[in-house]
Amino acid sequence: MNGKEKELLKLKKLLKHWAEHNDSHVESFIKWRDIAKSHGLKFIVEQLNEAIKQMKLCNDHLIAAHDALD
């Protein structure tokens, strides 16, 4: 395996790792969104919902890039 192939393999692994790492953040966002909701913090809930949506969109792009390296 040459240097370019090694870099691409590492990139592929990183893309998957970043998506998985983001998933753990989404889980945390959901937990804290629900806590904020229980305290009637409507704006905070809305912002966390948007963060969840954007993180999932980010993951869609990371996985698309990952899959394109196949």
Q: What is the pLDDT of residues 21-50, one digit of tens each?
A: 999 999 999 999 999 999 999 999 999 999
Instruction: Please give the pLDDT value at position 30.
Output: 98
Mean pLDDT taken over the chain: 97
Average pLDDT over residues 40-61: 98
What pTM was computed for the model? 0.88
Instruction: Please give the pLDDT value at position 50.
Output: 98
Q: Rounded CA gap, 9 and 2, in Å?
A: 11
Answer whether residue 1 shows pLDDT above 90: no
Identify whether the C-beta of residue 44 lies closer than 8 Å to the C-beta of residue 52: no
